[in-house]
Structure 1
Amino acid sequence: MRSILCSLAHEQGEIFMSKTSVEHQHSDTAEVAAGYRSVACKEYPETTIGADYLAEHFISTSHKFLIKFGFVRKLGIVKSRKFTPGGFKYVLARTAFFDQQLLNALGNGAKQLVILGAGFDTRAYRFAEQCSGCKIIELDIASTQNRKKECLLNAGIAIPKNLTFASINFNLESLQDVLREAGYDNALQTVFLWEGVSMYLQQSAAEATLQFVGACKNTESLLVFDYIATIADSEVDNYYGVKTWRETWARYRQAEPFKFTIDDSQIASYLEGMGLSIKSHLKEREIEERCLPQPGYK
């Protein structure tokens, strides 16, 4: 195999609502994930899931004000559990896990970081020192990327000189072409982060991304990503929270519907067909057990 990956299985959930497509407005799911990280930073500041001290700069002014109050944060967590069971815990554990994998990859010699669908990812800024010897490329749709640049400017957060922003619509544009224009070096040992993105892409776009990574020249390159497992309608009741998530998305998430899934039972052969081999494959509960603070986490 030309590259290795670490993949996670989950059903993801967020509860802020919008019906405007990401082509015309920044991604709501990206802002909600930043909101979760902001809450965690205040609720669990001494833990790895509370480590994103920059996240609050990417949420609305009203939400930034409200989460100052502990009772509001707790009400928000309760609401999340109602509309998207398990979503809050998973997103926080996922963030901590991706942090770990990035730092491990940098420690193992990675010289290039590509963040696919970066949203309001803050790793290039939180880990600026660790990434100082690394070429960084953040890719996302222009509406979200422009909003991110605006937030960075307003917060006075310096953009590292080794970071390049590249706008892309994964469903319409060639990842290879966009990365080439951004200065991507196919020969460098690279860590690709693809967090909370694959499920929103058309199948052709998601598979094109996997195939691109699988064709990397450097065999030490690593893809870290999460995905939604394929679940038949007849099996929905057998999985915790899935029915509620689907109802929430059908009612409130027309702008960012789930499109891409992977059959868990076929994932090894499926990814091998993309030129990838599995280094680690963890379920959401395994991610949470590894990354959520214990004991005392609620």
Structure 2
Amino acid sequence: MTNQAAMNDGVALTAVGAAAARAVESSREAALITDPYAAALVAAADAPVPFPVVWPAADAELTEQQTMLLMGANYVGIRSKYFDDFLLEAVDNGIRQIVILASGLDTRGYRLPVPAELQLFEIDQPQVLDFKARTLDSLNAQSNGKVIPVGIDLREDWPAALRAAGFDAAQPTGWLIEGLLVYLSGPEESELLNRVNGLSASHSLVALEGAASLPEPSAEDLERLREASKQSGLPMAEILKIMGGRQPLEDTLHGLGWTAQSSTAEQVALSYNRHLIDPRFAPAGQSPSAPGATLLSAQKN
């Protein structure tokens, strides 16, 4: 399987979708982030899904699929801004070691003004990181900090691979866990956070996007998810685990010795003068808001 073909399969395809969303956000008049490499990464992937990479003109006629993808892009722009701000604040607070779990095609080490001595470890599937590195090399992209790829599936012994790449568990670390927990079951989420905690020195920081705790999906829920998958072109019905029994992330982190602060995604959006659902996509007669994820940041005591 070629690098390009590998990017069109399963979870890797969602990484392309997230890059497309960052390209869309970067094109907006009042953009929350700027990712100058996102559109090129999407083009290089040649995905089977026609991801938008620009925000549409006000009078543009959109298909149902385009509308769904642009609604998702609006949220990803908000989420990306939250995690960008967290990373920059961590650096301002003296953190010089950042780990991004399931980093996908994001280019924070290239697009954010981080110091040259910052070590930024990116953990993701090897084919995703290899594809990103090849594409960025073709663009002559230059990193600001030291970007260190760690190609491994998170179901494997990634802490050992991280240490082998030069990670120092004795130093405070900044962790970014974005767009990941929604793919994990409750027990998998707990295992991941226990591993993160075991690698974190005192005063380490973490930012997380918490998955909603929902009951086991009914047959009707699964059918709606399959329909959403069909409309968007993304394999959500296969890879999204909507499962109950999740302990609130704040409780989990508190039990591990972290002090956490959380906001709903809508609260974060409003702080950026946005809504989770852009008003142009809100159903007629309804408020442009929607239930969403929880965004948290925490410090280890």
TM over 0.5, shorter chain: yes
Is the CA contact (8 Å cut-off) linking 1:93 and 1:288 kept in structure 2? yes
Q: 1:248 aligns with which of 228, 231, 237?
A: 228
TM, length-normalised to structure 1 = 0.74
Q: Secondary structure at the match of 1:60?
A: helix
Moved over 6 A (4+): 62-66, 234-237
CA deviation after TM superposition for structure 1 residue 148, in Å: 0.5
Q: Distance in 2 between matches of 1:262 and 1:136?
A: 33
Q: 1:272 aligns with which of 247, 254, 264?
A: 254
Match status 1:166 vs 2:150: yes
Greater shift, 134-143 or 206-215, is seen at: 206-215
Q: Distance in 1 between matches of 2:202 and 2:61?
A: 46
Match status 1:114 vs 2:99: yes
Is the CA contact (8 Å cut-off) linking 2:10 and 2:239 kept in structure 1? no
Percent identity over the alignment? 23
Match status 1:55 vs 2:38: yes
Match status 1:207 vs 2:158: no
Greater shift, 195-204 or 131-140, is seen at: 195-204
Structure 2 counterpart of 1:9: none
Written as runs of structure 1 = structure 2, the 5 A alignment for 1:1-298 is 20-22=9-11, 27-44=12-29, 46-49=30-33, 51-60=34-43, 67=53, 70-71=56-57, 79-81=65-67, 83=68, 86-127=71-112, 129-159=113-143, 162-171=146-155, 173-201=156-184, 203-232=186-215, 244-245=224-225, 247-249=227-229, 252-253=234-235, 257-259=239-241, 266-273=248-255, 275-292=256-273
1:231-284, Cα deviation, whole Å (9 max, x unpaired) = 1257999xxx998556424885168611376757743333334x1534211112
Is the CA contact (8 Å cut-off) linking 1:191 and 1:223 kept in structure 2? yes
Distance verdict in 2 for CA 1:223–1:262, change over 3 Å:
farther
Gaps of at least 5 residues in structure 2 are: 1-6, 281-301
1:139-171, Cα deviation, whole Å (9 max, x unpaired) = 100111111112111211124572211101111
TM, length-normalised to structure 2 = 0.74
How many residues align structurally?
Answer: 267
Gaps of at least 5 residues in structure 1 are: 1-17
Letter in 2 for 1:228: A
